[in-house]
């Protein structure tokens, strides 16, 4: 018999969708990219500041060093501030545009499979075909392969249910 471990129904809120988009980005952007951007930004700021202090023969040089500092600030803060703000804005816009199509979702974790459904679709994924499960601050991702996933807002899960999911694989 296929014992059901977790069964929940929920409606995706705008906040859930924005959190999922932000947390998905943090999972998919390689840490090396973030490190390279941060180091590049620091180098640009340092070089621009040093040049600004030492080489000010004319206004064009001052403007160039100032632009280098601004570019360094942009690159340094890209993944931590700029990308998150753009992604959150786009997620809100997408959610609002598609809000009429959002329906209640049902999830089930049983001993044999993960099941997610709404009023028009039902997906049963045998446990052995789950690639990985990632728990983030606000979202649990159930990956079926390296690119495809289903997400569950953590707000709907109890501590005991989260523990079951952590040990599911």
Domains by residue range for the chain, with CATH: 4-16+101-166 (2.30.29), 18-99 (no CATH)
- pLDDT of amino acid 4: 86
> What tens digit of pLDDT does each residue of 45-81 get?
999 999 988 887 889 999 999 999 999 999 999 999 9
DSSP secondary structure letters along the chain = ---EEEEEEE---HHHHHHHHHHHHHHHS-HHHHHHHHHHHHHHHHHHHHHHHH--SSHHHHHHHHHHHHHHHHHHHIIIIIHHHHHHHHHHHHHHHHGGG---EEEEEESSEEEEE-SS-EEEEEGGG--EEEE-SSEEEEESSSS-EEEEEGGG--HHHHHHHHT--
pLDDT of residue 154: 96
Query: What does the pLDDT read at residue 103?
Result: 87
Is the predicted pLDDT of residue 169 greater than 80, yes or no? no
Q: What is the pLDDT of residue 108?
A: 93
34-49: pLDDT as tens digits: 999 999 999 999 999 9
Query: What confidence score (pLDDT) does residue 102 get?
Result: 85
> pTM score, two decimals?
0.83
The confidence score (pLDDT) of residue 56 equals 79
Whether the predicted pLDDT of 165 surpasses 90: yes
């Amino acid at each position: 018999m296929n014992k059901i471990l977790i069964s929940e129904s929920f409606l995706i809120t705008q906040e859930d969708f924005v959190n999922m988009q932000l947390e998905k980005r943090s999972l998919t952007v390689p840490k090396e990219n973030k490190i390279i951007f941060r180091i590049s930004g620091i180098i640009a700021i340092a070089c621009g500041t040093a040049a600004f202090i030492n080489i000010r023969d004319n206004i064009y040089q001052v403007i160039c060093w100032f632009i280098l500092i601004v570019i360094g600030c942009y690159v340094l803060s890209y993944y931590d501030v700029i990308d998150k703000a753009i992604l959150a804005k786009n997620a809100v816009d997408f959610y609002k545009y598609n809000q009429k199509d959002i329906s209640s979702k049902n999830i089930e974790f049983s001993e044999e499979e993960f099941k997610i459904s709404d009023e028009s679709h039902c997906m049963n994924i045998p446990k052995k075909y789950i690639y990985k499960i990632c728990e983030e601050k606000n979202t649990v991702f159930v990956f079926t392969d390296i690119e495809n996933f289903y997400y569950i807002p953590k707000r709907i899960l109890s501590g005991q249910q989260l523990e079951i999911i952590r040990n599911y694989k």
